[in-house]
Amino acid sequence: MSSHPLVRATPFHARAAASNLFNRWTARNGFTLADDYGDALAEALAGRTTVIVADISWRWRVFIEGASAAGCISRLMTKDVNALAPGASLKALWLADGGAVRGAAVVARFASDQFLLASAATDAGWIAEAARRFGASLRDATLQEGGLALIGPYAEAVLQAAGLGADIVPLCFRRIFWRGLDVTVSRWGEQDGYEIWCKADDCLILWDRLMRAGAQFGIQPAGVSATDILDVEIGVPRPHRDYRPASDGFATDPTPASLGLETLIDEAHAGFNGYRAWLAARGSEKSSLVAVEIDSEAPASFTPLCLFGKVIGHTLTSVHSPVLRRAIALARIDKAHAAPGTVLSLQSPLSLASQSVHSVAARVASFPFVKPTAPL
Amino acid sequence: MSEPRSCDAIVIGAGPSGLVAASYLGRAGKKVLLLEAEDKLGGVCAAPHPSGGNSPLMLYALDPFVVRDLKLSKRGLHFAGRELALTGLREDGKHIVISRDVHDTAASIALHSRRDADTWPRFRKELFELARAMRPLWWEARGAWPGGIEGQELHAIARMGAGSWLNSWFESELLKATLCFDSVAGGLSVLEPGSAFSLIWRAAQEISGLQGAVLLAQGGSAALGEALINSAQEAGCEFRTVTRIERIILEGDLVAGVRTQSGETCFAPLVFSAVRSFQTFSQLLPPDALGIASSEAPRRNSPVAEAGIVLTLRSAPRVTGDAMSPAKRCIIAEKPETYAVAEMAARAGALPDELPIEFVTMAGAASAAPGEHVMRILARPVPRNPVGGWPALAPVLAARVVKSIERFSPGISGDIVRIVTMNPDREERESAVSVPHMLATAEGRVRTPIKGLFFCGAGAEPVPALSGRAARIAVASALAVHS
């Protein structure tokens, strides 16, 4: 049997399978995950009104260690990690030599010579080459650990009820010994929630404890569809879902600006890989990432967007937002027409209900569509 | 720690390419420092061969300009052979002998196919015309891609495998298989784009002058090494052996000199690296000098390689139906598919059952002991990193190769005094042959993203070869910029 099976289950699979009543599954980053546990819209709504738990073990996590680890990551990533204190994290990109986005990650400093890079997509060869050049060592923790995200206004309350109450501010994390388990509680997500990480063998215990503690708050598991809805509501483009990260080392597209990710670049940090190419291309991008509200309930992913009959871009992931009660989408359109309020049109997709194609109005909006709900 | 010193140019590596670069620089009036990690100058020419003496039979494609400019003939470089006919072996003795004589070759081919014999003169003419058209791009610092119909045809051939291209010309499997051996140099497959172009590169070598694409230096490789050392000495170059480079020093994106492992610093506005491009980028430059992709690019390597074997024999080998004299390059491969099947096995990490083999022998070209003869054998493709490792596989390879040659030279196994296998270097990081590399301008191959740093080694050739041409072009290119 291969050590890298094509289909991999996360350490929470046994619990996910028991809860996945309709047996709906999907794959992300090589892992099998519940697409939804019955009703994706209800799960997404719960993420805004109560609390949900989502399996995020599929995210690629690699430790970069050694005396030269900080130098290596600072060269690799678009922000300088040298000033990062242990227990703190930052979000940054890594770029190809040509300036294209190869990936986006959270970089967390565990010790002076130990960093964790957590990303929604794997780029093992590239990171390994950077580490090799600097003499840093790599340790892939993706299969050794599992993680759950707690999202919703009652996420903190669930943590406290579970005895994991920790005063953690966004972009920080803490390692906690929790009733016999070593866990790491982080706040790396965009939803103002928490992530709890533990060894793969302890994952079922973690799931059970959180579900028991969260029962009084109406906790429910959420599948990938629900977390995608929450992502789009916040306006976060994801690799392999909304864009194809550069795989060629000299690629120039997609640029950080065209994906709305320039905030993840520290211009003062001039030493990162691809800096010169990024600087040279800066401002010359023709397209930009925008939020689009669609005058319809039907999402329209990867559909051309028109202005006065001329195609000026296309949608990326589109979802029905249960809180806005309409379809929304991330979109890449010509920069000239990216001002909020610009009215566009798109062709509604064919569906089983409607066999005819018709034009639907869409409006450029501002990010985020929805702000994460604060606890009452 | 000694005081920093300065010179006009530093050459890293005193192998043949480094010596050529140093000679040209010295002749241009530059103050040159040549640094060599080993205790002898000459690189592969000076390395004692495991079979005893200097490397017995090395194949060169020396640049005619290098031979002429550096006056190598006057410095004692003579050739034991200027032409080795390519011979496709068949067990029944009906070998195909491809020599410079078109009519003799056609007569030899006619034993297998009348049609191919008629086609041969046309093929050879077209091959050499295409090779001539490519020469400016490959051999001149500012050469351009040929235009017109030839340019279009070359574009098409650049995207073809040797198997398909030869199929479009010939029907004889033995003829195609014999020609294919040169197309799979550098880890290419006969089915892979670029392999047809390798044949054109080989033809370009053959029309480069009397020394041709394949030649044997009289007295072995040491004769070439000595001639080049003599040339560099006369040009006033300063040599330093047992000097390993720790870092190439940069100022911004300009090269500024080198620092040795012993702590010595030498400043120079020009640095020429004759060591492998991957080693230069990855080990000698500071880690943040280049982008990750730029520094990684030369590392892309083929999973297949070639292995050398040297047999020392008690008597001159003879081949069924054809004496080995005059000297020939003999190829054992039945048909083009032999290469493709062997490639699949080698990629899977196994030694192919049927292994394409080339063997050469020539009196006077080696420093064999009196009464002994040396046969140089090349087997390709073989796995670069075989399952179980090369130490375990080497005896199997040697046995398989000897058994294969025994079919054409009965009794040879009883004549063997010594067998030495030269396994593919596992750490070999030179670029695999690729179409973009072959189609790049000569200047594009010798220049680096670091201003003032140039490649001058075998890896800067369209197909890695020890010709000195890259060194000549690197120096011309550097002096043009520097002046």
- Digit-coded pLDDT (tens) for A114-166: 999 999 999 999 999 899 889 999 999 999 999 999 999 999 999 999 999 77
Using an 8 Å CB-CB cutoff, list chain A residues near B288: 75, 271
SS3 call for A180: coil
Contact call for A249 and B296, based on CB within 8 A: yes
Find the residue in B nearest to A246 (Cα): B293
Choose among A71, A271, A273: nearest Cβ to B292: A273
Query: What pLDDT, on the 0 to 100 scale, is given for residue A310?
Result: 93
Cβ of residue A278 closer than 8 Å to a chain B Cβ: no
Query: What pLDDT, on the 0 to 100 scale, is given for residue B140?
Result: 84
Using an 8 Å CB-CB cutoff, list chain B residues near A249: 291-294, 296-297
Q: Nearest-CA distance from B360 to chain A in Å?
A: 41
Q: Nearest-CA distance from A142 to chain B in Å?
A: 24
Give Cβ neighbours of residue B199 (< 8 Å, ≥ 6 apart): B127, B162, B165, B179, B182, B183
ipTM value greater than 0.95? no
pLDDT in tens, B273-330: 998 888 888 889 988 888 888 776 655 567 888 888 888 888 888 887 664 456 678 9
Assess whether pLDDT exceeds 80 at residue B61. no
**Higher-confidence residue: A172 or B482?**
A172
Strand duo A101-111 + A89-95: pairing: antiparallel
CA distance linking residue A181 with residue A156, whole number of Å: 19
Query: What pLDDT, on the 0 to 100 scale, is given for residue B55?
Result: 47
List the single best residue of B253, B292, B294 to mutate versus A (max A Cβ within 10 A): B292
- Contact (CB, 8 A) for B360 and B375: yes
pLDDT in tens, A267-318: 999 889 999 999 999 888 888 999 999 998 889 999 999 999 899 999 999 9
Assess whether pLDDT exceeds 50 at residue B211. no
Assess whether pLDDT exceeds 80 at residue B212. no
pLDDT in tens, A166-188: 789 999 999 999 999 999 999 99
Contact call for B293 and A97, based on CB within 8 A: yes
Q: Nearest-CA distance from A74 to chain B in Å?
A: 10
Phi, psi of B104 (to 5 degrees): -60, -45
Name the DSSP letter for residue A254: S
Using a CB–CB cut-off of 8 Å, the residues of B that contact A are: 282, 287-288, 291-297
Assess whether pLDDT exceeds 50 at residue B210. no
- Contact (CB, 8 A) for A124 and A62: yes
pLDDT in tens, B74-118: 988 877 666 778 899 998 888 999 988 899 999 999 999 999 999
Query: What pLDDT, on the 0 to 100 scale, is given for residue B423?
Result: 75
Q: Report pTM.
A: 0.78
Query: What pLDDT, on the 0 to 100 scale, is given for residue A353?
Result: 59
- Contact (CB, 8 A) for A12 and A57: yes
What value does the mean pLDDT of chain A take? 92
Residue with tokens 């796995």: B383
Phi, psi of B263 (to 5 degrees): 95, 0
Assess whether pLDDT exceeds 90 at residue B449. no
Contact call for B288 and A75, based on CB within 8 A: yes
Query: What pLDDT, on the 0 to 100 scale, is given for residue A1?
Result: 37
Cβ of residue A179 closer than 8 Å to a chain B Cβ: no
Share of chain A above pLDDT 70, in %: 95
Contact call for B292 and A97, based on CB within 8 A: yes
Q: Which of the given ranges, A26-35, B322-331, B427-436, has the highest pLDDT on average?
A: A26-35
- Number of A/B CB contacts below 8 angstroms equals 34
Contact call for B296 and A129, based on CB within 8 A: yes
Q: Nearest-CA distance from B208 to chain A in Å?
A: 36
Using an 8 Å CB-CB cutoff, list chain A residues near B295: 129, 133
**What mean pLDDT comes out for the span B233-247?**
94
Contact call for B291 and A274, based on CB within 8 A: yes
Q: Print the SS3 string covering chain B.
A: CCCCEECCEEEECCCHHHHHHHHHHHHCCCCEEEECCCCCCCHHHCCECCCCCECCCCCECCCHHHHHHCCCCCCCCCEEECCCEEEECCCCCCCEEECCCHHHHHHHHHCCCHHHHHHHHHHHHHHHHHHHHHHHHHHCCCCCCCCHHHHHHHHHHHCCCHHHHHHCCCCCHHHHHHHHHHHHHHHCCCCCCCHHHHHHHHHHHHCCCCCCCCEEECCCHHHHHHHHHHHHHHCCCEEECCCCEEEEEEECCEEEEEEECCCCEEECCEEEECCCHHHHHHHHCCCCCCCHHHHHHHHCCCCEEEEEEEEEECCCCCECCECCCCCEEEEECCCHHHHHHHHHHHHCCCCCCCCCEEEEECCCCCCCCCCCEEEEEEEEEEECCCCCCHHHHHHHHHHHHHHHHHCCCCCHHHHEEEEEEECCCCCCCCCCCCHHHHHCCHHHHHECCCECEEECCHHHCCCCCCCCHHHHHHHHHHHHHHC
Find the residue in B nearest to A270 (Cα): B288
For residue A75, give the H/E element and its range: helix A69-76
- Contact (CB, 8 A) for A223 and A35: yes
Residue with tokens 């959420």: A222
Find the residue in A nearest to B285 (Cα): A133
Using an 8 Å CB-CB cutoff, list chain B residues near A126: 292
Using an 8 Å CB-CB cutoff, list chain A residues near B294: 97, 249-250
Assess whether pLDDT exceeds 90 at residue B49. no
Residue A78 vs residues A28, A93, A167, A275, B289: alpha-carbon distances, Å: 25, 5, 28, 8, 16
Q: Which of the given ranges, A70-79, B151-160, B367-376, has the highest pLDDT on average?
A: A70-79
- Contact (CB, 8 A) for B17 and B36: no
Contact call for A134 and B287, based on CB within 8 A: yes
Residue A370 vs residues A177, A295, A301, A328, B85: alpha-carbon distances, Å: 35, 17, 19, 11, 78
Query: What pLDDT, on the 0 to 100 scale, is given for residue A2?
Result: 40
Interface of A with B in 75-104 (CB under 8 A): 75-76, 96-98
Query: What pLDDT, on the 0 to 100 scale, is given for residue B362?
Result: 60
Choose among A97, A248, A271: nearest Cβ to B294: A97
Query: What pLDDT, on the 0 to 100 scale, is given for residue B282?
Result: 83
Cβ of residue A310 closer than 8 Å to a chain B Cβ: no
Choose among B288, B293, B295: nearest Cβ to A250: B293
CA distance linking residue B102 with residue A318, whole number of Å: 69
Assess whether pLDDT exceeds 60 at residue B445. yes
- Contact (CB, 8 A) for A329 and A301: yes
Q: What is the largest CA-CA distance in chain B?
A: 74
Share of chain A above pLDDT 90, in %: 84
**Residue whose C-alpha is closest to residue A92's, from A67, A125, A58, A115:** A115
What value does the mean pLDDT of chain B take? 85
Give Cβ neighbours of residue B130 (< 8 Å, ≥ 6 apart): B150, B153, B154, B157, B200, B203
pLDDT in tens, B314-345: 888 888 766 445 667 899 999 999 999 999 99
